[in-house]
Structure 1
Amino acid sequence: MTGEAIEYGSDYSEALFENHEAGIDWVPRWAQQTFEKVERSVYLVLSSAGQNEYVATRQMLIEVPAGTVEQVSDEMHERGALHTEAYEPLPPDRQFVSGQNAWYVPCPVCLWPMHVRGSLLACRYPQHVGQFTIIQEHDTGGAPRVRGPLPALAVHAAEAVCLHEAVWRYITVPGITEVSLMGWLAEQADIDGDAITKWPHKDRWDISVRAGNSVFEVDLKDTRSPSQIVARPPRARHVVVPDYRSWQVAQLRRSLPTGRYEVRTVRAFKTLVGKALKEAQ
């Protein structure tokens, strides 16, 4: 399937991964079979974790979507993340042979191995940048070159693992925007690190931040269809969408309950935080 088809279908499975306190009796049997292992090994672990373990584990699943078995194990230990069965051996459609070795190329945006079709590479998430080309050269024993809209490097596929596609789609992809915003907030001189809470109450919403005299509770939503957000209203007042979803803002403002939510893009939310910090000076 194309990336667009996968993205469309993903909207209808996302509820499996949004609330690990809820039952899944409503899910069709085929979906339970497809996601049973992932849902059990990841979300039951997360739901039983303490807050600090939850944050460490979730952030790892966002920032380390692929690597060798040893690299993943070391990251897990250093971060204090819990063990899950979220990682699997690198699938054949994510690797290619050049010279005597097998290789994969992480997406420059999410770092998950890009899909390979002949000499072409592309991330399975359509919003991530463009198409890349493998440049096959005479065997020098080194990594093949990759040409594309952003710098990308081939990595040895030996002993490589990557996140199961469901975990990547529902934790890593939206988490990129979440972690990026968390990082931006932490860089603001007038916001102390203690003023930022990541995934409070184990993801009741995504970020709580105290900026100046204001406290912002934020839910970031990265989904193809605004109707999916409206069907499961966020718990936080500030609903934030990635800048590449800016067209959704007007529809969400019309569709979500009036007066209960404020909807903005990431860029506009940063402006709001900056204004709050300036007013507090």
Structure 2
Amino acid sequence: MTSSSDEGAKTLDDVRVRYLVTRAALRAAKAMTAPGLSPQRRLETLMECHGTMNAARGPDSPRLQFGEFRKALKGDLAALLPEGVTPLDLDGMMVVDRDGQITEDAFDLDLEQRMLLHTLRKLDTFAGTVNDRELQSEIDQETAFTLLRKQGEQRVYEAGRTDLIRCPAGPVDDLCELRLPPLVADFYREIPYDSLYQGWWYPCPICKWPMRIVVRKNAGTAVGVARCWHTPHADMGASYLFRLPTDASAPDLLPEPSPPRPSGREAILSPDLGDVPQAVPAKGHKALSRGIWRYTTIPGLPELDLHDRLAERGLRVSLWPGLDAYDLLVEISAKRGKKTRLKVDVKDYTSAPTLAKLIHAQEGDRGGADWLVVPDYRAGQVHLLSGVCEKYDMRVATASAFGEMVCEKAGVSWT
């Protein structure tokens, strides 16, 4: 009979193997695609990642040859896992896309798995099982929040976190004016090379972070593509084409066809793309590190949007109460003076199974939230997450469904 301790250790080992395989593949893919890397350095990195991959697969798995490893990086990531490890989100995951670039989902999955392992390590679940050196340093997101909380003032924390959401990139002079402690401001770095075209970058019209730039062949002609690194934003219309200029001038973007704006309750939180983004010089500009942008700015947008829309309708809503015990506190005044308080945590994970495992590891929400809210474009995750959250007396909804429900309880119209 297998004990719950053995089952837990097996689960944790599987999580760690999936993380190490993903991490090794991602580092190797970066080495293969990064411009300007010397052949010697490229080979050294690939060989190191090959060794990590075989170590992660374990002594009972057939050794993966170096040539097979390089070839596998352009295929299904799940094929690199050893037998007996459930692939989950790795099944069908591509690390390198048709343009020879690292896929957005691979970046997200790597960060999400790292956060799950980081949480398990902090909880000291099955101590000693997780000892990968990369997990010894704090995740950027948590470090930034800790530095903001050290100020000890709710107002200062709200201002700083709002700035990280509203201003993920911009002129250095403007960024210096943000309400951030110096160590948090250090998370603004040079514009990533894969978001540049001849010294120019373009902010996503939704999140304002530098969009991804690639040049691909289309019917024998080279065409530039600019799209948000966050796939849902690109799918909403933050995706553009441009002709390659013959001089040093900045290219003009042309919008690709985008889906119609949602109607009904989802229209309230649907972002307005506005005008086509204009080129911005890289010189004198910086952007948040990818981890801070992906897991502070991206989920922060629906947090702020939901807060603002509910406040506009007369509801009392607080942001990150208790220095971020959870994301939103919504207070509803019903008839006979009775008040309902809803504690909300907003999550935007590419991997629903990874988020589910994180919730299970923490036995619900660490701050005591009783609602888990996901952006509307993650509606497909609600069923899976509801099954896990139900065990911890949490309910799950999309942002629009939650907003509509709250307004109905308060006797006001969401739409």
Task: Assess same fold via TM > 0.5.
Answer: yes
CA distance in 1, matches of 2:110, 2:131: 14
5 Å-filtered alignment, 1:1-281, equals 1-15=102-116, 26=130, 28-32=132-136, 38=140, 42-49=144-151, 50-74=153-177, 76=178, 80-83=179-182, 84=184, 85-97=186-198, 102-118=199-215, 119-130=224-235, 131-137=239-245, 143-149=250-256, 151-188=276-313, 190-191=314-315, 195-213=316-334, 214-227=340-353, 228-229=355-356, 230-231=359-360, 232=362, 233-234=364-365, 235-258=368-391, 260-278=393-411
TM-score normalised over the length of structure 1: 0.83
Rg larger in structure = 2
TM-score normalised over the length of structure 2: 0.57
SS in 1 for 2:344: strand
Which is richer in strand?
1
Paired letter, 2:226: L
The answer for unaligned runs of 5 or more in structure 1 is none
C-alpha deviation, 1:28, in angstroms: 2.4
Paired letter, 2:385: L
Paired letter, 1:65: P
Q: In 1, are the aligned partners of 2:141 and 2:295 still within 8 Å (CA)? A: no
> In terms of mean alpha carbon deviation, does 174-183 or 44-53 score higher?
44-53
C-alpha deviation, 1:82, in angstroms: 2.8
SS in 1 for 2:300: helix
Paired letter, 1:208: L
Paired letter, 2:331: R
Paired letter, 1:52: R
- The structure showing larger relative contact order (alpha-carbon pairs under 8 Å, at least 6 residues apart) is 1
The answer for unaligned runs of 5 or more in structure 2 is 1-101, 216-223, 257-272, 335-339
C-alpha deviation, 1:6, in angstroms: 1.2
Q: In 2, are the aligned partners of 1:212 and 1:277 still within 8 Å (CA)? A: yes
SS in 2 for 1:251: helix
CA distance in 1, matches of 2:187, 2:342: 31
C-alpha deviation, 1:139, in angstroms: 5.5
CA distance in 1, matches of 2:229, 2:136: 22
Percent of pairs with identical residues: 28
CA distance in 1, matches of 2:319, 2:284: 32
SS in 2 for 1:161: strand
Alignment: residue pair count:
264
Which is richer in helix?
2
Change in Cα spacing, 1:269 to 1:32, as seen in structure 2 (3 Å) is: same
CA distance in 2, matches of 1:17, 1:171: 17
Q: In 1, are the aligned partners of 2:171 and 2:286 still within 8 Å (CA)? A: yes
